[in-house]
Structure 1
Amino acid sequence: MKTPASRFTSPLRGPWLTSVFGLALLVALPVIVLTGLLSYIAYGPQLGQAIPADVGWLRLPLFTWPTRPSWLYRLTQGLHVGLGLVIIPVVLAKLWSVIPKLFAWPPARSLAQLIERVSLLMLVGGLLFEIVTGVLNIQYDYIFGFSFYDAHYFGAWVFITGFLMHIALKIPHMITGLRSIPLREILRTNVSGTRAQPPDDTGLVPAEPAAPTVSRRGALALVGSGVLLLAVLTVGQTLGGPARSVALLVPRGRGRDFPVNKTASVAGITPEAVGPGWRLTLRGGPAEVVLDRAALARLPQRTARLPIACVEGWSTVQTWSGVPLAELARLAGVPAPGSAHVRSLQRGGAFGEAFLQANQVADPNALLALRVNGEDLPLDHGYPARIIVPALPGVHNTKWVTAIDFGRT
């Protein structure tokens, strides 16, 4: 009687192919994990504005997120999202290569096998959950009905636990599998010469292999082509320039030739709110300081070419002009602020306000921007004034600023 696992008869399945895909993921996944955790730290948990806020014993070691290099968050989040997308073909190929083991019965014959099964459930379930929720977040499709930030953070720890357990259990098997067929032989063998590996105790090699329809090198080329295609369709959101025109998987609106996440209409910004009656209020010193836009324009101005990068992975570099935040702090009567609380005219939402660290306020290129690329800010990009700080996550570069409270500590 045939078992469900015996129905999978591809001669390509075996320790070598599974180990190759495993090695590729072993290189990519730690980078994705590390950059994801760095993104959480960049949001400033010590200022109470990271999401989720209460993570219990999963709290990360915190440090002051630097402002230099200015492209730091662009790099880390671009890698996190970009690699997370391009590994999808590798993940699917790895699952295809081990699918017979999913039908093994009984699922565990020993304590070691039980631990392996639990690690596999956490690894595969956690990874698929992170990929699916991440892709939906990029597309702004929140059909899952729960907080993406909360779920993605806690889901990551489920995956990390399974990943570490799986590495401890499977590294020796992966090394053995990689040595089972020389790479030179794989690259030289065509379809007609492709043979199944000898049966072993991995349960991956079919007992009755079918005739090959593709070689192992062909399978690698197919998966590699999928990786390359996804890279071409997504990398432009981080690199910008001409590459952005082929970033077809990036649903970003545009304002004056660069992307925008939330438009003024979505944020509830009315023409009256940003008209001649708009005022900026500075607090923290002996008395409030209230400025209109004309008064801001008369203050010392600075121009800097800075990137703005968002959690969805996209980024863009523009030339911003405005008043240094350090100058506004001095004007408010707080020459050496320990923090800044920035408030927006935006109605509702999780990012209608942001807290900045002392180094972010003090950086000479940290601006309350009034202009971009030599022109007044477009309304969708924060007119009459917005925050732009080097290496700061995009959602904390607050638009439509109406007040800044400078803290002394």
Structure 2
Amino acid sequence: MTPRTSGPRPPVRPEFRPPSFTGRLHDARTATAVGRWLGAAFAVCFLTGLVSHYLQHPPDWLAGRLPARPVWGYRLTQGVHVSTGIAAIVLLLVKLWTVYPRLFVWPPVRSVRHALERLSVAVLVASAVFEVLTGLLNIAQWYPWPFAFVPAHFAVAWVAAGAILLHIAVKAPEIAAHWGRRSPGTRSLPAADAVDRRSLLLGTAAAAGAVTLTTVGQSLTPLKTLDLLAPRHPDHGPQGLPVNRTAAAAGVSAAGLGAWRLEVAGPRPYTLTLDELRAMPQTAAALPIACVEGWSVQAHWAGLRVRDLVERAGGRPGTAALRVTSLEVSGSYRVMEMGPQYADDPLTLLALTLNGSALSLDHGFPARIIAPNRPGVLQTKWVHRLEVL
């Protein structure tokens, strides 16, 4: 007999085995079908987001050329932007579900080209998630991050757009092979998956439609009865309008308005009390107020035409711009400027009343700006100074 040897056995190195996915529909055809919808949603969000950003922060070359018509323009584009962005959350989750097994391919990097491709996908996923997440939290006005939302959201939108275009260029052959039911790549997929794929796509469309219907009422007021998930309801708030920034948040109180005067600076400066403003000829206008968070409401405003105030101060009609200063203590939009196309528009008002009643303090008492086709953050409340430029 051969004697047994004693002593510890050498350790056995475990063999790495990548996860094995047996679930169906994690295929190129499903990913392409969902990707078409997601790509369209991101394209709409990107284009309408550009409109929103440049209306709020126009570069110098564009500041004097922004249109005041149609009066509902910003209401439409921003409503579409927010509604499409909410629907894109559903589409993005389903898209990531269809492709996530590819995260575990082995070896993780097969070549320099493959490494660059995976890096581009990582940038695409990260920027897409960042955009929908920060956009959703902005709607709720919750900012749990140390950076400013507007410039970060705008900058990453360009990154996401570039990553999407790069991804389409790299994946163009695979996308073309699975684009339609009769595409070459589609014919090689199991026929049994077709029914389940249709069910998945119908479920995705139903989910995206459901979140849209239950939020779009904040801007599409005929559907306001279905506005169940949006953080704003178009009828809820003082005088029947929502309020984003209250007087208390802005540091404005009724006690501090006792000696209020409207200062109008220009070649012929003057001041007016509230009673003097009310005694002047009033102009009424039905205009929507639309906010970047997606809600908008049509309302009836009355007050003085800004163009008349500008002309009285010596500003030339059609050429004078205007700087508006609020009583609020601080804030990114405490001082607002409008170009001649807004200052000279007959519908741009220094409003004193809302829906037939004097402005409430939260809506900008004693006076506020209301102008056509402008973001809500530029409809300055608690106005105390107009400066003709």
Q: Give the TM-score normalised by structure 1.
A: 0.84
1:373 corresponds in structure 2 to 355
Q: Per the alignment, do residues 137 and 159 of structure 1 end up closer, same or farther by CA in structure 2, a change over 3 Å counting?
A: same
Q: Tell me how far 1:20 sits from its aligned partner.
A: 0.3
2:64 counterpart of 1:41: no
Q: Measured at CA, do residues 274 and 240 of structure 1 come closer, stay the same or move farther in structure 2, by a change above 3 Å?
A: farther
Letter in structure 2 aligned against 1:4: P
Counterparts in 2 of 1:122-137, with a 5 A limit?
Answer: 122-137=123-138
| Paired position in structure 2 for 1:361 | 343
- Cα contact 1:326–1:335 (8 A) shared by 2: no
d(CA) in 2 for partners of 1:293, 1:258: 23
Letter of the 2:295 counterpart: W
Q: Deviations over 1:23-66 (max 9, x none)?
A: 1122221111111112111014335xxxxxxxxxxxx9877221
CA distance in 2, matches of 1:315, 1:172: 43
2: CA distance, partners of 1:181 / 1:124: 29
Give the AA of the match of 1:273: G
In the TM superposition, what are the counterparts of 1:194-273 in structure 2 within 5 Å? Answer: 197=189, 215-241=196-222, 243=224, 246-251=227-232, 254-273=237-256
Describe the superposition over 1:176-216 as per-residue Cα deviations: whole angstroms up to 9, x where unpaired. 1123568xxx9xxxxxxxx9925xxxxxxxxxxxx98x811
Determine the structure 2 residue equivalent to 1:53: none
CA offset at residue 172 of structure 1?
Answer: 2.9
Taking structure 2 as the reference length, the TM-score comes to 0.88
Q: CA deviation at 1:164?
A: 1.4
Residue segments in structure 1 that go unaligned for 5+ positions in a row: 48-59, 187-194, 199-210
Equivalent position of 1:156 in the other structure: 157
Counting only pairs closer than 5 Å after superposition, residues 5-404 of structure 1 correspond to structure 2 as: 5-6=19-20, 8-46=21-59, 64-179=65-180, 197=189, 215-241=196-222, 243=224, 246-251=227-232, 254-275=237-258, 277-286=259-268, 288-336=269-317, 337-404=319-386
Q: Whole-Å Cα distance in 1 between the matches of residues 351 and 204 of structure 2?
A: 45
One-letter code of the match for 1:315?
S
CA distance in 1, matches of 2:307, 2:281: 11
**Other structure's SS at 1:4 match:** coil
CA distance in 1 between counterparts of 2:57 and 2:345 reads 17
Change over 3 Å in CA distance of 1:244–1:340 after alignment to 2: farther
Q: Which moved more, 1:140-149 or 1:356-365?
A: 140-149
Q: Structure 1 residue 256: deviation in Å?
A: 1.5
Residue 206 of structure 1: aligned partner: none
CA contact 1:339–1:357 (8 Å) conserved in 2: yes
CA contact (8 A) 1:138 1:312 kept: yes
Which 10-residue stretch deviates more, 19-28 or 331-340? 331-340
Structure 2 gap ranges (5+): 1-14
How many angstroms apart in 1 are the aligned matches of 2:260 and 2:95?
Answer: 57
In structure 2, C-alpha distance between the alignment counterparts of 1:240 and 1:385, rounded to whole Å: 26
Counterpart CA distance in 1 for 2:311 and 2:374 is 22
How far apart in 2 are the matches of 1:31 and 1:261?
Answer: 25
Structure 1 pair 248–153 and aligned structure 2 pair: CA distance change class (3 A): same
Shift of 1:308: 1.0
Using the aligned pairs only, state the percent identity.
39
Larger mean CA deviation between 105-114 and 75-84 belongs to 105-114
Contact persistence 1:237–1:244 (CA under 8 A): no
> Which residue is 2:18 aligned to?
4
